[in-house]
Structure 1
Amino acid sequence: MLLLLTGCNSLPDSGPTEAQVNHAQRNPQKNTIGYGIVQVTPELVSLLAGEAPPALSSLDTNNAPTTRTNNDTVGPGDVLQIAIYEIGSALFSPSSAAMTASSASGTNTQPSPSTAASLPLLSVDGSGDVDVPFAGLIHVTGMTTDQLAETIQARLKKKSQSPQVLVRIASDIANSVMVYGGVQRPSRIPLTPNRERILDVIALAGGEERPSGDERQPQTDEDYVVRLIRNGRIAEMPLKAIENDPAQNILMQPGDRVQLTFQPRTFTVFGASEHVTQMHFRTPTLTMAEAISRVGGPVDARADPNAVYLFRFENTDVLRRLGLPVDANAPTSPVVYQLDMMNPSNYFLAQKFFMQDRDLIYIANSSSNKFYKFFGLISTIIAPGITAAWIAK
């Protein structure tokens, strides 16, 4: 009997049994990362279903601008187009001298028409100043185009007859956002007084760039992650989550940086299943029941159906609500969820337990598997001898 047990323990195996998993979790020398084992229950499924991913709207709530921006102000780096209309003796018209001479000689009896002059494009320097001929140096940061036009006009009134000024931002740098990554046209997107939102600027950049790949692995909006960088703070969400929740389609602010990244979601399966593999979700959502069925489920000959484990780095807030010890400074902590597939009611729970990217499913080996494996090995060894003896007889 001792030889039999020794032989069973020396056989290779694909992974631990339920008893070995539980023992390793309680052993501090083996459980060096401090994971806990949690049974899949209706309460757990409800708790996980109520958890929302980090929201982009948090950047608006906790870091709202002190003043509402209408995206129509001038700032450093902008290029301005200024047009000046004058009557009579004009400062900026090339024909003003000829008109003055003609008027003095009396040859021109018609009233002087208005003249228009477009100044060369003027750039706003890093200090927010622009130098306008005959108007001098003007600090323009924070001004609207109408306010800047009024300022220039006021400075020209003593030098020109009834000047009228129009200002347009030819190249808007101050009121713009950068959109890059997995979009068709990475570029700087100027913001307008219409106040674009994050989905608007992604669309203006051409939308997500669909990489050519395996047709069996279709790309969905859930496989794209939107990262927003604002004033040194970062938030990211799946593109689909923003599309489904209007509150996350937040207004853009000048200086925002938006990155779109293609991150195909996968899960991995180990242990006593038909296939040990890594698989893509291929659908917008995936439940634990669907994931297990895709790999053929537990193998009858060697699996322990009441010990199906899901390994995950879970949000620490969730684990804290489950009563597990967590590191307060860590955003995520390891946890193992156990599903007992011998309980028929748990099949309903498996249909509501949603998989996350990089989840790992392990189907434990049955404790009796080693005995049957050892018995099969002995049968393989002695079967040829029995057959030869029967033939010789």
Structure 2
Amino acid sequence: MAAAIGMSLAIIIPSAGCGSFIPQSGPGLQAVRQQASVTDLHPATPTAYALITVDADTLRFLTTPAPEPRFSVAETSHAIHGTIGVGDDLGITIFESGPGGLFITDHPENPSGNSVTLPSQQVDEGGNITIPFGGKIAVVGHTPAAVERAIVQRLGSRALEPQAVVSILARRSGMISVVGDVGGTAHFSLDPGGETMMGAIARAGGPRFPDYETIVSLQRAGTVQRARLSEIVADPGQNLPLEPGDAIYISHDPEFFLAMGATGQTSSLGPLDRRIAFGGEKVTLADALARAGGLEDDRANARALFVYRLTRPGDIQPGIKIPTVYVTDLRDPRGYIYASRFIMHPEDIIFVSNAPSTDLAKFLALVLPAAYTSQGFNAGLR
């Protein structure tokens, strides 16, 4: 019987390579090494992919992930807040130094002078208001104090030492809008003191998600700029002053990595999600592997922990952009130290290869039933 099984195995093994029909979730260590076009740290030319061993020397050359989106501070203008715009409601009061002047009040006998409060006026589409005996006055883009001086100048030759007080009763122009993933939407006008990006988000109830998972989009003058909220928090220069008409949209944009192969997640009884959120601003390979459940003891090849990455320019050598596979040996105690210093990038793929013994077990599970069947078939022929 043993001889028959051995003969059957001898027939089956040459007829098909182990790697060609044994079920696998990905390439093994040897396959990755054999197919790599470059296996040193500094590839000189673009290649299919480079294989780089993660060690102390490698970590010195690796860069941090690509910079998060940031606002272009250079493009930010410094508009004067508190100016009057189209649609604003203005309150105007005119004073004269003595009775019997241009404006007659209900108490003409008042020796201290006259004063009259005009009905509130909404700035028309041409940017003007109308003053009795003064005609139209352009007010858009001017401060209330500037409009007061213009009224006095218009009435100076007709009224008795006129003075004017102008106030903005209701702002309807240049409103700021904050919408998206915030506690509550906000729509407000800028005060003369102005407002910043963080202040506007606070008015809307703050973000609903952590700052490292939140993108702030600023619409201004027909352009859109984006920045991650964590960048705004970390850099006061990114907390831009707002301008009339700005619109802010807050969106949830978490960063992910993928975990494949012989990770501890495969032992879960529930549905698996191999697309795992970073859960922090900076995630190391050790962090990511722990989130994926670590290595599966009875399957994983601890020497073959791979990270697949489309290397950005400058990560390995300036001007070079190639797909890269980083391999970490966790059977070496130093491998865990290297993994704790290896910074993950968004969309990295972690793959843990099967151990050779796992492939052998799969192979035997496939061929032994075939061998016994072959032995029974041969015995039947006899």
TM-score, structure 2 normalization = 0.76
- 1: distance between equivalents of 2:224 and 2:49? 28
- 2: distance between equivalents of 1:33 and 1:82? 74
Residues 1:377 and 1:300: Cα distance change in structure 2 (over 3 Å): farther
- 2: distance between equivalents of 1:266 and 1:44? 23
Over residues 77-107 of structure 1, what are the superposed CA-to-partner deviations in whole Å (9 max), with x where a residue is unaligned?
43333232345346566648xx4xxxxxxxx
Determine if contact 2:196/2:240 at 8 Å carries over to the other structure: yes
Alpha carbon RMSD of aligned pairs, Å? 3.5
1:60 to 55, 58, 73: 73
The match for 2:93 is: 83
Q: Does 1:249 align with 2:239?
A: yes
- 1: distance between equivalents of 2:22 and 2:233? 53
Over residues 158-185 of structure 1, what are the superposed CA-to-partner deviations in whole Å (9 max), with x where a residue is unaligned?
3322322222223335554322111223
One-letter amino acid matched to 2:217: R
2:81 to 67, 71, 75: 71
One-letter amino acid matched to 1:48: T
Question: How far apart are residue 368 of structure 1 and its match?
Answer: 5.2
Structure 2 alignment gaps of length 5 or more: 1-9, 39-45, 267-273, 376-382
Structure 1 alignment gaps of length 5 or more: 100-107, 211-218, 327-332, 387-393
- 1: distance between equivalents of 2:179 and 2:47? 37
The match for 2:287 is: 290
Residues 1:138 and 1:55: Cα distance change in structure 2 (over 3 Å): same
SS in 2 for 1:352: coil
- 1: distance between equivalents of 2:308 and 2:331? 20
Name the stretch that deviates more: 242-251 or 362-371: 362-371
The match for 2:54 is: 40
1:230-249 equivalent positions in 2, closer than 5 A: 230-249=220-239
The match for 2:3 is: none
Q: Does 1:19 align with 2:18?
A: no
Determine if contact 2:174/2:246 at 8 Å carries over to the other structure: no
1:281-360 equivalent positions in 2, closer than 5 A: 281-312=278-309, 316-319=312-315, 322-323=317-318, 325-326=320-321, 335-360=324-349
One-letter amino acid matched to 1:359: D
- 1: distance between equivalents of 2:94 and 2:76? 38
- 2: distance between equivalents of 1:220 and 1:142? 39
The match for 2:7 is: none
Residues 1:44 and 1:165: Cα distance change in structure 2 (over 3 Å): farther
SS in 2 for 1:19: helix
One-letter amino acid matched to 1:3: I
Residues 1:378 and 1:50: Cα distance change in structure 2 (over 3 Å): closer
- 2: distance between equivalents of 1:35 and 1:253? 48
Name the stretch that deviates more: 196-205 or 112-121: 112-121
- 2: distance between equivalents of 1:184 and 1:148? 39
The match for 1:111 is: 111
Q: What is the aligned-residue identity percentage?
A: 28
Determine if contact 1:225/1:263 at 8 Å carries over to the other structure: yes
- 1: distance between equivalents of 2:249 and 2:79? 22
Q: Does 1:275 align with 2:289?
A: no
- 2: distance between equivalents of 1:364 and 1:70? 62
Q: Does 1:4 align with 2:13?
A: yes
One-letter amino acid matched to 1:340: D
One-letter amino acid matched to 1:154: Q
Name the stretch that deviates more: 141-150 or 229-238: 229-238
Determine if contact 1:149/1:166 at 8 Å carries over to the other structure: yes
Q: Does 1:362 align with 2:351?
A: yes
Question: How far apart are residue 10 of structure 1 and its match?
Answer: 1.2
Determine if contact 2:121/2:129 at 8 Å carries over to the other structure: no
Determine if contact 2:91/2:119 at 8 Å carries over to the other structure: yes
- 2: distance between equivalents of 1:55 and 1:44? 29
Over residues 240-267 of structure 1, what are the superposed CA-to-partner deviations in whole Å (9 max), with x where a residue is unaligned?
2322222322222333332211234433
Over residues 51-73 of structure 1, what are the superposed CA-to-partner deviations in whole Å (9 max), with x where a residue is unaligned?
642322xx222x143xx433122
The count of aligned residue pairs is: 348
- 1: distance between equivalents of 2:360 and 2:201? 59
Question: How far apart are residue 373 of structure 1 and its match?
Answer: 1.3
Q: Does 1:259 align with 2:249?
A: yes
Question: How far apart are residue 289 of structure 1 and its match?
Answer: 0.3
Question: How far apart are residue 347 of structure 1 and its match?
Answer: 1.7
Name the stretch that deviates more: 251-260 or 199-208: 251-260
- 2: distance between equivalents of 1:375 and 1:324? 48
1:52-201 equivalent positions in 2, closer than 5 A: 52-56=67-71, 59-61=72-74, 63-65=75-77, 68-86=78-96, 87-89=98-100, 95=106, 99=108, 111=111, 113-125=113-125, 127-201=126-200
Determine if contact 1:79/1:124 at 8 Å carries over to the other structure: no
